[in-house]
Structure 1
């Protein structure tokens, strides 16, 4: 099922929200992390005015979210003059599997304006360096995305640097909104895995995403660029930062993740 159709299946229930999750959206034994965050944001959109842009998203991945019927709860924490703080959880009974805190905010008048230097939008995404989907080998959810490397190595290839530059897009053409950007921002594998020479398990523990340019009216085949770097790592834990760039080279989002590596 394509991403848009999957999220369109989110339904309001007496206890909150529910959605049917197929095996094709798993990342190991849990739902793809970007999808978990997006499901929570989609539920929050039932509570937050649609004209308030999403500014910041903080996600904690607590326990696996298996395929099947996924249950969510959400609430507004505070409504201020310009911003709304809200919380959503993926739950299994009384257990929280994923926790999201989101901040939505109207534009403010400010004398502070710091623009990131645009990147080259003409950099080619070479199809010869496309990450292959291999049934039973690569994560199931990756079948829904196209990822092409222009710097750094594929996972478990013994790369010399903890940095990757990857051009990514949804494989199936579809109308895009903020939840599609969230998914793209979490699609690429950690550069820490590129340093390794043999497969090991890895998992994100926390993820913060700050959105700056939320335009989505680009061609369906347009690529978004992810520049990701492990800034520190020790004792099985990695800290990594990423910048997400629009197809025309503008900064779309900043990302920060804590990743645990089992090997």
Structure 2
């Protein structure tokens, strides 16, 4: 079966009146569950039917249970809408069961005298690692991305650096949307897996994403970079943070995740 490009998936999402549905093909799975970034995109589609046409400022996600491929449904409702910001809840559901819970904050721009943007640091890699897609070994969804580690290394290489810097792109046609940004921001695996030499199960528990620009349409889908750091690892729980940079070093998103590694 031919893989389904991300932009084609977006055209297949049916969304109206606080609900969204998408029939997800197997090439977007991550083991036995749907790629977490795509879970968030389906929820975001439901949110956008009830949220104002304001930029997404923050997205908080809790992954509760595996989301299988096939038909995926999300429901959204407004929690509170004020003068400048609107909080919207979305749930990926299987009947009455919630599989993924998220809260998005949409906010209009405000006048402010304070302005600060992160500056992208430069790296001179001593060695780089391309991530190949190996059917049955590498998670299915990774075939839609181009990834090259310039600091750290892919999972199961025995590399004990707590930092990863990954040059990233999507195998898709533009324009870049907020959904593309959400998907790219969730590409990175737990850095702890790089410490290991044999595969073990791993999963995300929570994910927080903060978006910085208000429009992404001018950004190409190549030339992105993720700078990530594992800040703590204990009792099988992993804490890591990231900055997602767009082409030419444009700061696009800040993220933080809590993960579990079974090994």
Instruction: Place the TM-score, normalised by the shorter chain, in its bin.
Output: over 0.9
Tell me how far apart the structure 1 counterparts of residues 205 and 152 of structure 2 sit (CA, whole Å). Answer: 23
Q: What residue number does 1:42 align with?
A: 45
SS of 2:100's partner is strand
Tell me how far apart the structure 2 counterparts of residues 191 and 17 of structure 1 sit (CA, whole Å). Answer: 32
Tell me how far apart the structure 2 counterparts of residues 170 and 209 of structure 1 sit (CA, whole Å). Answer: 19
Q: 2:34 aligned with 1:31, yes or no? A: yes
Alignment of 1:188-227 (within 5 A): 188-213=188-213, 214-220=215-221, 222-227=222-227
Return 243-252 or 232-241, whichever deviates more.
243-252
Q: What residue number does 2:5 align with?
A: 2
Tell me how far apart the structure 2 counterparts of residues 125 and 8 of structure 1 sit (CA, whole Å). Answer: 38
Alignment of 1:30-179 (within 5 A): 30-50=33-53, 52-120=54-122, 129-179=129-179
Q: What is the TM-score normalised by the length of structure 1?
A: 0.93
Residue 185 to residue 167, structure 1, CA distance change in 2 (3 Å): same
What whole-Å deviation, never above 9, does each CA across 1:57-99 have from its counterpart, x for those lacking one?
Answer: 0000000110111111111111100001001110011100001
- The alpha carbon displacement at 1:126 in A equals 11
- The alpha carbon displacement at 1:166 in A equals 0.2
Aligned length: 259
Tell me how far apart the structure 1 counterparts of residues 218 and 150 of structure 2 sit (CA, whole Å). Answer: 24
Tell me how far apart the structure 2 counterparts of residues 82 and 226 of structure 1 sit (CA, whole Å). Answer: 30
Q: What is the TM-score normalised by the length of structure 2?
A: 0.93
Tell me how far apart the structure 2 counterparts of residues 127 and 171 of structure 1 sit (CA, whole Å). Answer: 24
Q: What residue number does 2:21 align with?
A: 18
- The alpha carbon displacement at 1:128 in A equals 6.6
Tell me how far apart the structure 1 counterparts of residues 142 and 156 of structure 2 sit (CA, whole Å). Answer: 16
Residue 14 to residue 210, structure 1, CA distance change in 2 (3 Å): closer
Q: 2:232 aligned with 1:232, yes or no? A: yes
Task: Name stretches of at least 5 consecutive residues in structure 1 with no aligned partner.
Answer: none
- Contact map agreement 1:125 1:148 (CA 8 A) in 2: no
- The alpha carbon displacement at 1:188 in A equals 1.6
Q: What residue number does 1:184 align with?
A: 184
What whole-Å deviation, never above 9, does each CA across 1:176-219 have from its counterpart, x for those lacking one?
Answer: 20000000000121211111121111100000000112434133
Residue 124 to residue 162, structure 1, CA distance change in 2 (3 Å): closer
SS of 1:248's partner is helix
- The alpha carbon displacement at 1:156 in A equals 0.8
SS of 1:34's partner is helix
Task: Name stretches of at least 5 consecutive residues in structure 2 with no aligned partner.
Answer: none
- The alpha carbon displacement at 1:13 in A equals 6.8
Residue 192 to residue 16, structure 1, CA distance change in 2 (3 Å): same
SS of 1:17's partner is strand
- The alpha carbon displacement at 1:249 in A equals 0.8
Tell me how far apart the structure 1 counterparts of residues 223 and 256 of structure 2 sit (CA, whole Å). Answer: 21
